[in-house]
Chain A
Amino acid sequence: SQQGEEDPQALSIQEGENATMNCSYKTSINNLQWYRQNSGRGLVHLILIRSNEREKHSGRLRVTLDTSKKSSSLLITASRAADTASYFCATDAPTSGSRLTFGEGTQLTVNP
């Protein structure tokens, strides 16, 4: 069963706008990660946030984590056409052993 669920399933915005994607999960976690997948390619790790962190930044990416609500959000600011991809959250939970559990992803389309 999937641990993380992304919302929305699909998002279409204009270049320059901000994109926000959400992830909810079911059990307590050690950390939560976000990945990007371009069409026909493998996933690329974007950012990792630990359970004792509330916010993290990397370039145009901002990730928040609310462990009380078991949710995370990924914000991409000033989006570009090259940001068009699927975005996945993945959780490392104490019960999952040496592995991540991925959600089904959000398909982001940035229109030029």
Chain B
Amino acid sequence: DAGITQSPRHKVTETGTPVTLRCHQTENHRYMYWYRQDPGHGLRLIHYSYGVKDTDKGEVSDGYSVSRSKTEDFLLTLESATSSQTSVYFCAISESRAGGLGNYGYTFGSGTRLTVV
């Protein structure tokens, strides 16, 4: 996906360990988002950012924290991984609020498949 990369693509970790996922963009977009995707739940927002050092919680933020020290990077940290956090995590970026100022929506990364054992 042009302009946005997620790392790592796959990770297996043990219960109780901290994990950090990285989202990097080269589009200079203001808004960045972290979603998780699970069968039967669709995509659920974890945290989002509307600028450097400006972040807010989504609907499933418990157990997660984020940081954005530069425009291009948005980090998602699982403070102490649990099996319920096994999921596919997607980062997304947008130039304007939810695509409202243009006809463009979100641009998604390719995802990180995280397994907590």
Could you list which residues of chain A lie within 8 angstroms of chain B, going by C-beta atoms?
A: 1-2, 30-31, 33, 35, 40-45, 48, 88, 90, 92, 96-105
Contact = CB atoms under 8 A, between A and B. Distances in A.
Nearest to A105: B42
A82 B90 CA distance: 23
A98 B95 CA distance: 11
A33 B99 CA distance: 9
Interface residues of B, number: 30
A41 B107 CA distance: 12
Contact of A43 (B40, B44, B90, B100): B90
A92 B98 contact: yes
A1 B45 CA distance: 11
Given A31-B98, A99-B58, A102-B44, 9 more contacts: A33-B106, A35-B105, A43-B90, A43-B92, A45-B99, A90-B105, A92-B98, A100-B106, A104-B42
B41 A45 contact: no
A88 to B, nearest CB: 7
Contacts, number: 71
B43 interface: yes
Contacts of B40: 104
A99 B98 contact: yes
B100 A99 contact: no
Contacts of A31: 98-100
A33 B96 CA distance: 14
Contacts of A97: 56
Nearest to A49: B103
Given A31-B99, A48-B99, A98-B48, A88 B107 contact: no
Given A30-B100, A102-B43, A43 B108 contact: yes
